[in-house]
Amino acid sequence: MLILLPPSESKTRPAEGPTLDLAELTLPGLNPTRQRVLEALLKLCSTDRARARTLLGLSVLQDDEVASNAALLTEPTAPAIEIFSGVLYNNLGAANLSTASQRWLNATSLIGSGLFGFIAPHDRIPVYRLAGDVTLPQVGSLPTLWRPALAEVLPERTGSGVILDCRSQQYAAMWQPTEKLRDHTVVLRVLQRTLVDGVERLRIVSHHNKATKGLLVRELAKVQAKPRNVAGLVDIVHDLGFEARVEATPYGGWQLDLVTDPVAVA
């Protein structure tokens, strides 16, 4: 099984730790592209703060993030699972999992990244700011840059097991499974059952979506899930107490909808 996770903009800066070493990261075949993106980001943020702010979607009040990007080679690192601290990761709560479950998470998950392509939870990275849809001087559109690199390298990690894709659309644009992989790829979506004037409607709510994804991955880690196929994954999800609906998609592969409790809207 392979779980693909999005990163988070919210990050926790480590007080100390070794500096970034690309050679130590998972999927070393991505290092030439990682180096290109890293050099482009360093140059942008160290030479033109105003342009960096614009291209990275930051405000003047976030100049500290531009400065942090400019210092990436000297910033301390920590495992990515400790760096990312958004809603999904807070609900995943990896630090509170058993040692065996943490090992399962490290072996089973990859986290999407505009800077690194994909990294494993245990890979040591610094705090950085670079969304997956940014266009950088010298390298251009990140999705366009990453697609061929990931298409070449990622198959060595996907294998023939179930792929549970929890990424947001922004990071899904960087890599899509080949036709061969689609029949065992499941795209996860979270729908909230909402009552509008007594009529039930299903809708995507960003915060709830991220929280539920984190909770599901946490529960999968706790049982160290090893589904043999898509049907087996759906059975495990049901056994864990989630309301889930699965259907084939028109373009191949599967979509798994988790339906959460209703909220009344006047």
Residue 243 Cα distances to 195, 230, 236, angstroms: 17, 16, 11
What is residue 107's predicted lDDT score, i.e. its pLDDT? Answer: 96
User: How sure is the predictor about 192, in pLDDT bands with cuts at 50, 70 and 90?
Assistant: confident
pLDDT tens for each residue of 59-69: 999 999 999 99
Indicate the pLDDT class of residue 209, thresholds 50, 70 and 90. Answer: confident
Name the residue with higher pLDDT: 198 or 79: 79
User: What is the C-alpha to C-alpha distance for residues 94 and 244, in angstroms, rounded to an integer?
Assistant: 23
pLDDT band at 160 (very low <50, low <70, confident <90, very high): confident
Of residues 130 and 158, more confidently modeled: 130
Task: Scan for tokens 């690199």, then name that residue.
Answer: 149
CA 15 to chain centre: 24
pLDDT at residue 88 greater than cutoff 60? yes
For 120, other C-beta atoms within 10 Å of its C-beta total 19
When pLDDT is averaged across residues 210-228 and rounded to a whole number, the result is 96
Among 222, 240, 233, smallest CA distance to 100 is for 222
Structural domain boundaries in the chain: 2-265
Separation CA 53–CA 60 (nearest Å): 7
**110: nearest Cα among 123, 100, 121:** 121
